[in-house]
Amino acid sequence: MSRVDQGRRQILAWGAAMAGVALAPGVTLFDLAHGRAPTEPASSKVRWGMLVDLNKCASDCDACVSACDKENGLPTEKTATSAQWIRKVELKDMRGQVRSLPMMCQHCAEPPCVDVCPTGASFKRADGIVLVDRHTCIGCRYCMMACPYKARSFVHEPTTGQRPEVPRGKGCVESCTLCVHRIDRGGIPACVEACAATGRQAILFGNLNDPESEIAKRVASYATTAVRADLRLDPGVRYVGL
């Protein structure tokens, strides 16, 4: 190896170190804002939530739905027996005015599905995400009877071609996971990403427990609606303009 090469290496090493110093604060900020070390469990200091702005959500757009299907390996064909973790619901009021919104698991603070589940397979994670542990789900469907948002689907058929990060199979109940596999790596849900990519940015994702987060600020300053607020389930998904 020549001396020149050694010199180059030295410069590269210094450069890498400098870059590291420059980036470190950013990385730290990102970590503080977004989560935790890979070995650290989800914490109740965080409560993940979404804020959907109906004024920005277009009736003819289903980018969130197709993004969810792709991310989670769900069937694209929509039938009475197919799994639908997120759907666009069209609302027509008495004046005939039509609006549209995405409907998915609302990640309640008081989830009825968790209360009714006989085996505890339906559970709420420390950071507020409501999930089904498929290893203990026996497929009784009581949670589907109990969910006031019709957010859950039963897998009616054998499945193939699952995504490695999203295992799913026949005989269990499932629903929106808030893309927990992405969140655990510091990412955001696929529907939020897809909605932003269309330029509409109708779905805002963030930590409701952090008063400095954009979502918490907006929930604090604008009128937002919890669907079926009469049931007082304190959903983590909220709507603007409903």
Partner 1 sequence: MRGAGTFTGRAWRVAAKAALVVALAGSALAADAPSTRVPLPGVTAPAEGTCVEDTEFMRRNHMRLLVHQRDRTVHEGIRTEKHSLANCVSCHAGSKTGRVTGSKDAFCEGCHRYAAVKLDCFECHADRPAATASAAAPPAGGPK
Partner 2 sequence: MSRETYSRLEARGFWALAFLGAAVALAGFLAAHAMETSGHVITGMNNQVVWGVPHVFAIFMIVAASGVLNVASIGSVFGHAVYKARAPLSGLLCLALLSGGLFVLMLDLGRPERVVVAATHYNFRSVFAWNVFLYSGMFTIVAVYLWTLMERRMAPWSKPAGLAAFVWRIILTSGTGSIFAFLVARQAYGTALLIPMFLAMSFAWGLAAFLVVQSTMYAWNGLALPADIQRRMRNLLALFVVTVLFLVAALHLVNGYFAKNLAFERFILADGGVYPVLFWGAYVVAGSLVPLALIWRPGSTARDLVVAALLVIAGAFALLYVFIVGGQAWPLDIFPGYTTSSTFGDGAIASYAPSLPEVLLGVGGLAVAFLITVVGVRALRFLPQDDLPAAPAAAPAGR
Q: Is 139 in the site for partner 2 (CB under 8 A)?
A: yes
Residue with smaller CB distance to partner 2, 171 or 241: 171
Closest CA to 48 of 204, 156, 168: 204
- Tokens representing 185? 């790596």
- Tokens representing 133? 């542990």
The site map against partner 2 for 35-74 (x = CB under 8 A) is ----------------------------------------
H/E element, 52? strand 48-53
Q: Calculate the CA 43 to chain-centre distance.
A: 16
Q: Is 181 in the site for partner 1 (CB under 8 A)?
A: yes
**Member of 36, 54, 73, 142 binding partner 2 (CB under 8 A):** 142
Residue with smaller CB distance to partner 2, 146 or 209: 146
Is residue 119 within 8 A of residue 138, CB to CB? The reply is: yes
Report d(CA 67, CA 191) in Å as an integer: 6
Q: Is 33 in the site for partner 1 (CB under 8 A)?
A: no
**Member of 8, 157, 197, 229 binding partner 1 (CB under 8 A):** 157
Residue with smaller CB distance to partner 1, 188 or 240: 188
**Member of 56, 140, 184, 196 binding partner 1 (CB under 8 A):** 184
CA angle 186/70/56 to nearest 5° reads: 75
Catalogue the E-assigned strands of 68-213.
Answer: 86-92, 98-104, 122-124, 130-132, 153-154, 173-174, 203-207
Report d(CA 195, CA 155) in Å as an integer: 26
Report d(CA 120, CA 219) in Å as an integer: 31
**Member of 1, 5, 22, 41 binding partner 1 (CB under 8 A):** 41
Which of the choices partner 2, partner 1, none does residue 115 contact, using the CB cut-off of 5 to 8 A by kind?
Answer: partner 2
Site residues (CB under 8 A) for partner 1? 38-42, 69-70, 73-77, 79, 81-83, 123, 125-127, 131, 133-135, 155-165, 167-170, 172, 180-181, 183-185
Site residues (CB under 8 A) for partner 2? 78, 80-84, 87-94, 103, 112, 114-121, 136-142, 144-150, 152-158, 170-173, 227-228, 231, 242
